[in-house]
Amino acid sequence: MTEILEHLERGELNVTGRLVDASNATLFAQCTYAQSEMAVIYKPVAGERPLWDFPDGNLAQREFAAYLLSEASGLKVVPPTVLRDGPFGIGMVQQWITIDENVDLAKFYREDLPELRGMALFDAIINNTDRKIGHLLPHIDGHLYGCDHGVTFHADDKLRTVLWQWANQQMTDEEVSLIAGLTEMITSRSLDLTSLLTAIEIEALLARIARLKEVRKFPVPSGEWPAVPWPPF
C-alpha cells in the first residue's frame, strides 16, 4: 500500500480522457513514477460544480477523508487515494479499479454478502448521500471497493443508498468495536480530519458513531427524503 500511495503522490499525471457521465470533472489519467504506469482517476477541485447543500469544503477533500476513514477502520473499501496537485490544480487522485466483468451489478448489490454489509456500515458512518449501484467496484481479485465519496460527512442525516438489506438489523460485536475504535482515533487525531472537514461535520461524524454504537443496529430510511439515490445505477 505504501508503494501505491507513493506512486499516486509523486507520479506525473497525464490526462488521457474524461468520464462524460460524471456531473463534475472526472478525468482518466496515467500516473507515471519510477518508469511504472498506473491508471488513475483525477478529480480536480477546479472542475467541481457548487452544491447548495454542501457549501463548505470540496468534493476532493471529502473523497480523501473517506479514504482515510476507510483505512483507519479496517474496512478498506475505498481505493488508494491522495490529495495532490495536478495538471488542472489540486484534486483527488485515486487508483483505477478494474472490476470483475463477470459480476452482474444489477443482481450483486441486492445480495446478503459480508463485503456489501461492510460497505453499508461504512456508508452509515460517513453519511453517504449517493451510494449507487454503479459506485460498487467488485475487483477481479474478489475485494469490493466503492467510489464517488464526494457527497459525504454532511452534518444532517442524509443517508441515501441502494444497500438497505440490513436496515434495523443487529450489529455484530465486531462491528460495534470497529465503530467505537473510530471515536478514539478521531478525538485523539491519530485520524486527523480537521484539514478536510469542518468542525461541525466532525462533530456530526462523532455523533453518528456514538448513535450507532448505542443502538447497535444498522440505520433505517428516515422517511424525510428519498432513501435511494436517483438514478439508482
pLDDT at 194 exceeding the cut of 90:
yes
Kindly report the number of other CB atoms within 10 A of residue 24's CB atom: 17
Residue 17 maps to which CATH number? 1.10.510
Residues 6+ apart with CB under 8 A from 138: 99, 100, 103, 105, 108, 144, 145
User: So what's the pLDDT on residue 195?
Assistant: 97
203 lies in a domain? yes
User: So what's the pLDDT on residue 163?
Assistant: 98
**pLDDT confidence bin for 127, thresholds 50/70/90:** very high
226 lies in a domain? no
Residue pLDDT, tens place only, 3-38 = 999 999 999 999 999 887 777 889 999 999 999 999
pLDDT at 139 exceeding the cut of 90:
yes
Task: Compute and round to an integer the Cα radius of gyration of the chain.
Answer: 17
50 lies in a domain? yes
Residue pLDDT, tens place only, 57-115 = 899 999 999 999 999 999 999 999 999 999 999 999 999 999 999 999 999 999 999 99
User: So what's the pLDDT on residue 215?
Assistant: 97
194 lies in a domain? yes
Q: Cα separation of 134 and 109, whole Å?
A: 9
86 lies in a domain? yes
Average pLDDT for 177-205: 96
124 burial (CB, 10 Å; 0-12 / 13-18 / 19+) is buried
Average pLDDT for 182-206: 97
52 lies in a domain? yes
Residue pLDDT, tens place only, 140-180 = 999 999 999 999 999 999 999 999 999 999 999 999 999 99
224 lies in a domain? no
Owning domain of residue 144: 2-215
Q: Cα separation of 165 and 55, whole Å?
A: 31
The domain total for the chain is 1
**pLDDT confidence bin for 224, thresholds 50/70/90:** confident
User: So what's the pLDDT on residue 23?
Assistant: 74
User: So what's the pLDDT on residue 24?
Assistant: 83
227 lies in a domain? no
Q: Cα separation of 111 and 232, whole Å?
A: 16
Q: Is 44:88 a contact under the CB 8 Å cutoff?
A: yes
